[in-house]
Chains A and B, each alone.
Chain A
């Protein structure tokens, strides 16, 4: 049987990207600045949101979308912190996609939000490939994870706007070379903003929240 070749040239992520653009239009129509937070499990995604909310809740109206394989543990914590939150359970899925985020927006008071956090599923690989319509992409690396992470997961560092380096209160106990780490990351991403912080002691938070507020005000 004869075969023939049919040209296609169609991007595999197109369906997700189209939905992400629709999400973005919704965010912009409501004046919401959206931050997609990606990191490995335990790096401090929820802690970063909670401490940021604690410091900014008198200045800006916030909300969160929490992505997890299962449970509402993180959503309960964030609600207890005083902001509206919805849970997306991916049921085994290792990342959030634009469609899931789009559907969850019905459950949030969009007219009463200026700054929205999307806490992605704990994973340093898959979330990076799925745009959700966010304005700012944040990766968190915590110092106990080691300063060699960019060697193993270059894509996440190359594809975010901001890197938060968390748990810096533990630096005295760890062989983590902060300067070498930052040099490596800036090599992959010359434009990246880097904020070393501790969610426990609050060190470094002023610079992070100042930057974040400035972003929210431009949206």
Chain B
């Protein structure tokens, strides 16, 4: 996954004609993946001698948001009791929380 991030960032930095990437903004849903702050450690190692070497990873976490398939109530669950707080049905659909993408990069010009 870290390799994927580096590949995406370097490609976009090159297209933008940047000389260096200083910051990488990632959007990560609570349900989407296993990436945590330790990814910076792998990133520092794997990005050596590339455009994004030394860049800082900035995480924006997205909480899980659900909509009830029965009554259209929307809510943020606490823990994993995903029953609708309004009607009590177990028909929750995830509307937010599966995001997992590189949102933007901050680059320096030559």
| Chain A residues within 8 Å of B, Cβ to Cβ | 1-16, 125-126, 129, 150-151, 154-155, 158-159, 183-184, 186-188, 190
Question: Which residues of B are found within 8 Å of A2, using beta-carbon distances?
Answer: 108-109
Across the interface, do B4 and A6 meet the contact criterion of CB distance under 8 Å? no
The interface on chain B, measured as residues whose beta carbon lies within 8 A of the other chain's beta carbons, has a size of: 37
Of A14, A129, A158, which contacts B34 at CB under 8 A? A129
Of A7, A12, A158, A159, which contacts B1 at CB under 8 A? A12
* Known contacts A3-B108, A5-B106, A10-B102; A188 and B34 CB within 8 A of each other: no
Whole-angstrom CA separation of A155 from B102 in the bound complex? 21
* Known contacts A2-B108, A4-B106, A129-B32; A10 and B12 CB within 8 A of each other: yes
* Known contacts A6-B107, A8-B105, A12-B1; A188 and B22 CB within 8 A of each other: no
B33 touches A (CB below 8 Å): yes
A125-B34, A183-B90, A187-B80 are known contacts; what are 20 more A-B pairs with Cβ within 8 Å? A3-B22, A4-B107, A5-B106, A6-B104, A8-B102, A8-B105, A9-B104, A10-B8, A11-B100, A12-B5, A12-B8, A12-B100, A13-B1, A13-B33, A15-B7, A129-B32, A129-B100, A151-B79, A154-B31, A188-B80
